[in-house]
Amino acid sequence: MHEVDPTTSATLMENLDVARTLTTLADLLEIQGASPFRIRAYRNAVATINNLTRTLESMVEAGEDLTELPGVGKSVAKHVTELLKTGRITRLEEVSAEYPIALVELVRLDGVGPKKAKKLFDELGVKSVDELEAALDTGTVQQLGGFGAKSADKIRNSIDDHRKHTGRFQVHEAEKLIAGLLEYVRATPGVAEAVVAGSLRRRKETIGDVDILARFEGNGAEVVSRFVSYSGVARVLGAGETKGSALLHSGLQVDLRVIPGRSFGAALQYFTGSKEHNVSVRTRAVRQGLRVNEWGVFRVPENSEADEIGKEDGQRLAGDTEAEVYEALGMAWVPPELRENRGEVEAAIEGTLPELVTLDQIRGDLQMHSTWSDGAASLEEMAQACKALGYEYIAVTDHSQAMAMVQGLTPERARKQWAEIDEVRERVDGIEIFKSVEIDILKDGSLDMPDDVLGELDVVVISIHSFMDMDRSTMTDRVLKAMAHPTVDILAHPTGRRINRREPFEMDIEAVLEAAADLGVAVELNANPNRLDLKDTHVYRAKELGVPVVISTDAHSPRGLADMRFGIDQARRGWLSAKDVLNTRTLPEFRSWLDRRG
């Protein structure tokens, strides 16, 4: 797990740290078999905390009543206050004395829920992923009631997936975890600016560690000293004159580099690009008799030693800005999202880099949920929130009837919803509300609504929520059959992945994208940062094939609409321009696309 043991430190905690600790407590209580109402109270509080725009630390320091926050009761407020003041929650210590915190990792494995985790612990003494793997190897897990060979295989695969993601933070998590630290560094006397570099600046979907560059003239040790003294630092890994490294309470490593202004652009270029991008850039420089490093671009004198380059001011050609660095090499400035050595260096030389899509070019959101299924807001509230964002149109896509656990729409309920949409259209001017449903693709590839209902929908969105463990051929055939239905407009979250939690379906994505191109079906780039489905390389392939991409939030509340920016990041990593994104079109243009089949 990423979390540092919350009993070991009373240093500053970001909201995400608090939310994770409460989630751990809720998971342990569920393993213990506590009241589901109490467990739900913790999870509701976590949802509230994750959406706060202020820090809980500042609220507690100001003496504010946390119970005024939605979903936060007296018990949870007491726990939060205790955690922030002491670094511990007594109740968590009590529960973990009976059920070890490491059991939470088991719950998060696909195929192991709270009841199975409890059974594994009570009957086999298994309390960690490593111990579970050992028990699988000896065959003792398979002999337990409720388990078996098929279940064991599923768990083993999940363990493999879990290990792939250990130590990786999702992009939105990393953002939240460093927000306070970044502002702290920016407030350091003499620091002209402090910016994020590395994979977070490239907007990769998961982050191993974070690089921060501070522009500062003078003794950099002063900035480093302040950096490592930040109250959210759990452990100092290093502190020198120009570099500091620290581990935050969450387990996220952050590295700081202090750079003078004349080299700031060069350093930002150097510490932003992937290793492969930087090698490609440096190779081009060498061919031109130049050298690029974090201090600038230098002309290499004859018979010079490599270590001397960067210290001879007379040989320096550029370094103040990133644009200067690329220009000195005969290249256009490369957007950070593209710096992965996927052809961007050649395009920058040739002047063919795409003009990447931007958030302000989005004109509508084509997947969201309301209280008609598992959303938290009404149709009208979602419409008003989208209007406030300046959108011209939306599609409300509550689940279909196969998702009975979230009150999926039957044909009868769908028609009742349409009547409400008509009413909301009258009350909310200036935005079109399309009638839609997120139609489940059933096991055999058929759609979870009769044809007469499908024919009456304005936008038909299809997706998979069940039978996700099919083999590659069967799953591919299932999706292809569904896409071939003449009413289908959009294939949503095509590979079904949940980042750091669930791997994509076994499916031939190339065949699916080729079929989308042939059938005139758009594919969704789900902007929820837990999904970002499609992945960036698949987005790029969709562009190559001419498949329209829809960037949708899959929002279940007005707050979720803000996730659009993560979808934009992923689209940019996939080289998309506005013309490649369906929902950058005006309302008349989008209507025309809906009428594409005549």
What's the pLDDT tens digit per position in 569-578? 999 999 999 9
Q: Where are the alpha helices (DSSP H) in 125-219?
A: 129-138, 149-165, 171-186, 198-201
Mean pLDDT confidence for 264-290 = 95
H helix or E strand, kind and range, residue 318: strand 316-318
Last residue of a domain, one of 259, 280, 313: 259
pLDDT reported for residue 250: 85
Q: What is the CATH number of the domain that holds 401?
A: 3.20.20.140
pLDDT at 234 over 80: yes
Check if the beta carbon of residue 272 is closer than 8 Å to that of residue 278: no
pLDDT at 307: 47
CA 573 to chain centre: 13
Instruction: Clarify whether residues 397 and 366 are in a common domain.
Output: yes
142 and 89 both lie in a single domain: yes
Specify whether 324 is located in the same domain as 411. Answer: no
Which candidate, 539, 547, 587, 595, places its Cα nearest to that of 567? 539
Distance CA 388, CA 386 (A): 5
pLDDT of residue 165: 66
Q: Position 481: which residue type?
A: K
Same domain for 88 and 107, yes or no, is: yes
pLDDT of 358: 98
Average pLDDT across the chain, whole number: 90
**How many domains does the chain fold into?**
4
Does 345 lie in the same domain as 363? no
In terms of domains, do 536 and 407 share one? yes
Q: Are 2 and 17 in contact (CB under 8 A)?
A: no
CATH number at residue 178: 3.30.460.10
Q: Answer for the pair 492, 461: CB distance below 8 angstroms, yes or no.
A: yes
Q: Are residues 566 and 431 in the same domain?
A: yes
d(CA 383, CA 366): 12
Instruction: Give whichever of 98-112, 303-317, 571-585 has the largest mean pLDDT.
Output: 571-585
**Residue 228 scores a pLDDT above 90:** yes
7-28 pLDDT, tens per residue?
Answer: 333 456 788 888 888 988 988 8
| Angle between helices 379-388 and 411-427 in degrees, nearest 10 | 50
Average pLDDT rounded to a whole number, residues 370-398: 96
> Does residue 337 sit in the same domain as residue 219?
no
Q: Give the pLDDT score at 282.
A: 94
What residue numbers bound the domain in which 372 lies? 359-594
DSSP state of 17: H
**What's residue 598's pLDDT?**
65
Q: How many H helices and E strands in the chain?
A: 24, 17
Residue 431 has pLDDT above 90, yes or no: yes
**3 state SS of 493:** coil
**Lowest mean pLDDT, pick from 5-14, 20-29, 72-81, 226-235:** 5-14
530-541 residue pLDDT tens: 999 999 999 999
Q: Residues 224-243: what's their mean pLDDT?
A: 92
**What integer pLDDT is reported at residue 594 of this predicted model?**
96
